[in-house]
Structure 1
């Protein structure tokens, strides 16, 4: 059952975002392309297993100029709380603190913590009881902040994105590609989106697809992940505010 819960985490799509050590931006300084938001998603799992849950993402500006990116899942199986504290510098995420907690009555608790020392380019912490101590390269990201970077890179018109992600006691390398534009029809009517796929080996049976909405500052509106055994996991946007304003369909005059 824990394997199913791992699918609920956006930050664990199969692990998704460049800068060397730099000071935090001053509070109130403009952040190109980055806006605070809150979004709630409906999650479903289709494999003959009755699973439903809700997930919430929030991005908030902190008093010191850094950003807090948080992801929470609430379900009858367990709750997940995942967060990344980061600086946003010239269009790139620079994580400083990553935390993950999975807690529930039906499964063992799991906790992960990674602290980034950009002066030494060293990440330290604890991954489910095992020590983390690994050197990381320029532009490294954590398992959650890479999603924020992906959103920004799609906004910037990138067609293929490569990320180095600190996870466990290693550096994972992941690639994503833009497949093109697609109009989704659902709760919000017709929504124009950019469709993105995680690039895997040609013989891989796992598939991850994401849709970002340009009209809503490239907010993630849908995600599908298909596992090798055929399990299909989906999330759909239920409601959101971007920079304090509720999302709505943009109409042309």
Structure 2
């Protein structure tokens, strides 16, 4: 069962940014109540002409190595697609013989912010499933969390994200050359704060060749015994090409294996 737990840890790591932190991040607020109402999903996209162009659709494959006495390697795939009505869908999938993880987020752009409309999380370990849905009501400024047949409502602000869209918002902010990298995430009926800080530019070796990258550190859970570093490549639209996590003698390294550009809605017509 130890190997299964390790595989599960790696699968969770594949959420790339918010994964490992749920137990170590203090909530910003926690005001939840039962909810049974339907939720509206706005579709209008408002963009400022000064905002950088958003990311084109793509598919990226990552692999990670987990080391604690043994070395395990798992692959995961993330995909960004765009619908004709300027709605986006962001998926992440890890599938092994013993464990699987599937995440999906639908969102649109409101100025320079991503606005999720619905987030799905599904994991399975030896047939034991966990399913979570978070639906965002931007008219009511609330998020509805549904799990095991129960629903709760929590307040959100204009920039609240889900665990998956955080990845894209961070990249978009780096692309926009913003210095403040603080994010509120709706997760488990709570608002959790994630903070990041840009460090140096570094040349690193990857499977795509040697790349100039921006190194970013996560700061809300940083300590002498724990760190998370991320390397984003401007050449590939600020895509994450490497991540390193270390805590209590356990280390994780995640690397980009390959990237494929996908057609846009206009190209499909």
Q: TM-score, normalised by structure 2?
A: 0.80
Q: Which residue of 1 aligns with 2:249?
A: 230
Question: Which shifted more, 179-188 or 148-157?
Answer: 179-188
Shift of 1:150: 0.1
**Preserved CA contact (<8 Å) 2:88 2:106:** yes
Q: Which residue of 2 aligns with 1:248?
A: none
Q: TM-score, normalised by structure 1?
A: 0.84
Q: CA 1:39–1:51 in 2, change beyond 3 Å: closer, same or farther?
A: same
Aligned length: 236
Q: Which residue of 2 aligns with 1:74?
A: 95
Q: Which residue of 2 aligns with 1:53?
A: 74
User: How far apart, CA to CA, are the structure 1 residues paired with 2:52 and 2:212?
Assistant: 25
Q: Which residue of 2 aligns with 1:150?
A: 170
Q: Which residue of 1 aligns with 2:32?
A: none
Could you say what secondary structure the match of 2:178 adopts?
Answer: coil
Map 1:64-213 onto structure 2 (within 5 A): 64-105=85-126, 108-127=128-147, 131-201=151-221, 203=223, 205-213=225-233
Shift of 1:91: 2.4
Could you list the per-position Cα deviations for residues 76-111 of structure 1 after superposition, in whole angstroms to 9, with x for gaps in the alignment?
A: 331111011000232210000000100132x63111
Could you say what secondary structure the match of 1:215 adopts?
Answer: helix
**Preserved CA contact (<8 Å) 2:145 2:188:** no
**Preserved CA contact (<8 Å) 2:61 2:256:** yes
Q: CA 1:189–1:25 in 2, change beyond 3 Å: closer, same or farther?
A: same
Q: CA 1:130–1:195 in 2, change beyond 3 Å: closer, same or farther?
A: farther
**Preserved CA contact (<8 Å) 1:132 1:168:** no
Unmatched runs of 5 consecutive residues or more in structure 1: 245-253
**Preserved CA contact (<8 Å) 1:194 1:212:** yes
Unmatched runs of 5 consecutive residues or more in structure 2: 26-40, 264-269
Shift of 1:130: 5.0
**Preserved CA contact (<8 Å) 1:43 1:233:** yes
